[in-house]
């Protein structure tokens, strides 16, 4: 499709002396015609192909910001969780919390729907750390394994200790820690009980944390 199709010029062999001029101009004309034909064929195929290709590349060409909580000030982009610092066990047992937020999906905006889930843990000093529950390996869900007191992914057996550090060779990186801020009535403060989370998903299978 669209290749230059050189016209078949298998005319009977002519002696050079015989009608040299005409054959010269003839062949020149033929060459011109074939170039032009080739060019035109290319153009009529290339134009729709280019348009189609650009359309298909839309997800890359038009990188959209996904929806998030529209907060204000210091907590802009942070989502308030249902859990509080008090609601987490003091002994550091991880608790899974569903994160609800606005989700933009092509032509829809879903408000207050689950967009993912995080593991929350209270540290000995009372601060809270949060991990995205999506396995950094290939995107399954990491569970808390009570029998071994660690994090474990049932798909390809990734395991992590409770501070998210990988404990075997399966995952490419540690669990994805997420930014979390304690606040009181939406005002950030170290002693706040509210938990505000910056929820992000990261690309799977990479050694670095790359937000999607």
Partner 1 sequence: MNALMAWLDNRTGYKSLMHEALYERVPGGARWRYVWGSTLVFTFVLQVITGFMLWSAYSPSTRTAWESVYYIQNEMTLGYLIRGVHHFAAQAMVVLMAIHLVQVIIDGAYKAPREINFWLGMVLMMIVLGLSLTGYLLPWDQKGYYATQVTTNIMSLTPVAGAEVQTLAQGGNQYGHMTLTRFFAMHAGILPALLVAFLALHIYCFRRHGLTVHDENHAPETSFWPDQVLKDAIACLAVLAVVLLFAIFKGAELSAPADAAVKFDAARPEWYFLFLFRFLRFHAVESIGLVWGAIVLPGVIMGVIALMPLTHKFLGEFGHTLNKAFIWLLGAAIVVLTAMAFIEDRNDIDHQAALAEAHRDGGRAVELASGPDRIPVDGAVGMLRRDPFTQGPRLFAKHCSSCHRYNGHDGRGMLVTEKKKVAPPTASDLGNFGSREWMRSIVVDYAAHLSPLKNAGWFKDAKAKEEAGEDVTYLNPDESEMADWSGYPESLLSDENSENLDALVEFLYSEANPGYIPADVKEREEWVNALAANEQLAAKGRAVATEGAWAGDLEGTSCADCHTTIGEDFVAVSDDDADGYPTMAKYGSAKWLTDFIRNPGAPRHYGAKNEMPAYPPQQLTDEDLNLLVRWLTHDYLPSDVPDYPSRLGDLPSAGDAAADSNEADEDATEGQDLEENAGEEATEQE
Site for partner 1, rule CB under 8 A? 56-57, 59-60, 63-64, 66, 82-84, 86-87, 89-91, 93, 95-96, 98-99, 105-108, 110, 113-117, 133, 137-141, 143, 146-147, 149, 154-157, 168-170, 172, 193, 201, 203-206, 210, 212
Minimum CB separation from partner 1 for residue 52, in Å? 11
For residues 118 and 101, the answer to whether their CB atoms sit within 8 Å is no
Closer to partner 1 by CB, 34 or 152: give it: 152
* Contact residues for 84 (Cβ-Cβ < 8 A; gap 6+): 193, 194, 195
Minimum CB separation from partner 1 for residue 2, in Å? 15
Minimum CB separation from partner 1 for residue 110, in Å? 8
* Interstrand relation of 95-105 and 79-84 (parallel, antiparallel or unpaired): unpaired
Closer to partner 1 by CB, 39 or 110: give it: 110
Closer to partner 1 by CB, 37 or 87: give it: 87
Length of the chain measured in residues: 212
Cα–Cα dist 102/192, whole Å: 24
Closer to partner 1 by CB, 164 or 171: give it: 171
Minimum CB separation from partner 1 for residue 178, in Å? 15
Q: What stretches of 146-203 adopt beta strand conformation (E)?
A: 150-152, 159-160, 177-178, 180-184, 187-188, 194-197
Minimum CB separation from partner 1 for residue 67, in Å? 11
| Nearest alpha-carbon partner for 201 in 7, 37, 28, 66 | 66
Closer to partner 1 by CB, 12 or 124: give it: 124
Closer to partner 1 by CB, 7 or 89: give it: 89
Cα–Cα dist 121/90, whole Å: 9
Minimum CB separation from partner 1 for residue 120, in Å? 12
Q: Residue 15 has which token pair?
A: 């002696």
Phi first, then psi: give them for residue 35, nearest 5 degrees.
-60, -45
């Amino acid at each position: 499709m669209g290749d230059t199709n050189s016209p078949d010029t298998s005319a009977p062999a002519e002696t050079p002396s015989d009608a040299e001029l005409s054959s010269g101009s003839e062949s020149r004309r033929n060459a011109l015609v074939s170039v032009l034909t080739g060019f035109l064929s290319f153009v009529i195929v290339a134009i729709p192909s280019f348009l189609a290709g650009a359309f298909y590349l839309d997800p890359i060409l038009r990188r959209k910001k996904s929806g998030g909580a529209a907060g204000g000030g210091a907590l802009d982009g942070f989502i308030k969780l249902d859990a509080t610092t008090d609601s987490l066990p003091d002994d550091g047992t991880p608790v899974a919390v569903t994160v609800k937020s606005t989700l933009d999906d092509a032509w829809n905006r879903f408000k207050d729907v689950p967009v993912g889930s995080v593991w929350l843990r209270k540290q000995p000093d009372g601060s809270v750390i949060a991990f995205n529950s999506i396995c950094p390996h290939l995107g399954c869900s990491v569970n808390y394994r009570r029998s071994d007191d660690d994090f474990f992914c049932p798909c390809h057996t990734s395991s992590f200790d409770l501070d998210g550090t990988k404990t075997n060779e399966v995952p490419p990186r540690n669990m994805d820690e997420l930014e979390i801020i304690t606040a009181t009535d939406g005002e950030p403060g170290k002693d706040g009980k509210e938990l505000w989370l910056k929820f992000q998903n990261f690309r799977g299978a990479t050694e670095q944390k790359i937000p999607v």
